[in-house]
Each structure stands twice: as structure tokens, then as C-alpha cells.
């Protein structure tokens, strides 16, 4: 009985067999490379979307920190929100002003002459603060645009001093 798996030295690979093997290997490698590149592109776009969401959340958290100390009603005047409250690290009562100018949102603390940029990525006219009439709650809303990725965030903040 002949062994089926024995190698016969007379038969080698033909050029056609070799070219077919290289062609099949090329097709498989192209498919694998395409999947890897697409997964990196997906990761990059989801990272940018997450970055926009985190920027929006950080901006609202910074404003909420000061709104929790509010001792007066918020006066809104065409892109400026003014209120009195306590400075975070002390018992000093100060005046706060949140300013939305084009795409930049700033917090100004008048009594200590300090201005801080909260974010530069606000979609135009997509930031507001509203007060719930029945309670001492404020609703904050912001939309951030970070490299053509939009993120919307909304939080509710309750003042401890109103």
C-alpha cells in the first residue's frame, strides 16, 4: 500500500500554484489590514465624541460649584448671568458673572477681580440657566462642539442659600 502523504521528489510547486498561494495570502492580508485600520478610525471618532461630552460636563460642573452657593436670584442680560454667592474656598460673599461671548464661556468673580475661561467650544447661543420657580433649583444646559462632534449636557443644581 502506498503512503498517501509521502513526498515525491519529482513533483514540485509550479509557478501557477505559487502565484495562487501569493494571491490568496494577499487577499487575506488586505482584509485583515482593512479591519484593523477601520477599528482605529472608529476608536478615534468615539474618543472625540467622548471628549466633547467630557468638556461639556466639566464646564457645567464648574458653574454648578458656584451656583450652589448662590444667595441671590440670577439676573440674565443677553448672554450674561449675574448672581451673588460665596467664594468656594472662603466665607466671603462675592458677585459672580457668567458670560457667553461667541463660543467662549467665562466666569468672572467681580469682588476679587478674577476671570476664568470655562470653555472655548460652546455652540453659539447653546448655553442657558433657568430657575425652577417652585424650588431653589437651576437647570443648566450646554452644547459643546469639539472638532465637529456635538455633545449636549443638562444638569440640575440646587442652591443651598436661597
Task: Say what the pLDDT of residue 32 is.
Answer: 93
Task: Say what the pLDDT of residue 9 is.
Answer: 56
pLDDT, block means (10 residues), the chain with 162 residues:
56 84 94 85 67 86 89 87 84 88 88 83 87 83 83 90 78
Task: Say what the pLDDT of residue 155 is.
Answer: 93
* Continuous segment of H or E residues that includes residue 139: strand 137-146
Task: Say what the pLDDT of residue 98 is.
Answer: 92
Q: pTM of the predicted model, to two decimals? A: 0.66
Task: Say what the pLDDT of residue 2 is.
Answer: 55
Domain ranges of the chain: 41-158
Task: Say what the pLDDT of residue 141 is.
Answer: 94
CA separation for the pair 56, 72 (Å, rounded):
25
Task: Say what the pLDDT of residue 153 is.
Answer: 92
Task: Say what the pLDDT of residue 25 is.
Answer: 95
Task: Say what the pLDDT of residue 40 is.
Answer: 73
User: What is the DSSP pairing of strand 114-119 with strand 137-146?
Assistant: unpaired
Task: Say what the pLDDT of residue 87 is.
Answer: 79
Alpha-helical (H) ranges within the chain are 15-67
Q: Beta partners for 131?
A: 138
Task: Say what the pLDDT of residue 22 is.
Answer: 94
Amino acid at each position: 500500500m502506498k503512503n498517501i502523504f509521502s513526498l515525491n521528489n519529482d513533483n514540485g510547486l509550479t509557478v501557477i500554484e505559487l502565484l495562487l498561494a501569493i494571491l490568496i495570502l494577499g487577499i487575506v492580508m488586505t482584509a485583515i489590514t482593512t479591519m484593523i485600520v477601520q477599528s482605529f478610525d472608529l476608536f478615534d471618532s468615539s474618543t472625540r465624541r467622548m471628549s466633547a461630552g467630557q468638556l461639556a460636563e466639566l464646564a457645567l460642573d464648574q458653574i454648578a460649584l458656584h451656583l450652589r452657593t448662590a444667595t441671590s436670584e440670577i439676573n440674565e442680560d443677553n448672554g450674561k448671568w449675574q448672581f451673588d454667592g460665596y467664594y468656594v474656598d472662603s466665607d466671603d460673599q462675592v458677585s459672580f458673572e457668567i458670560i457667553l461671548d461667541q463660543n467662549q464661556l467665562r466666569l468672572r468673580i467681580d469682588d476679587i477681580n478674577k476671570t476664568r475661561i470655562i470653555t472655548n467650544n460652546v455652540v453659539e447661543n447653546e448655553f442657558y440657566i433657568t430657575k425652577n420657580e417652585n424650588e431653589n433649583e437651576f437647570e443648566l444646559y450646554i452644547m459643546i462642539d469639539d472638532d465637529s462632534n456635538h455633545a449636549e449636557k443638562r444638569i440640575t443644581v440646587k442652591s443651598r442659600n436661597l
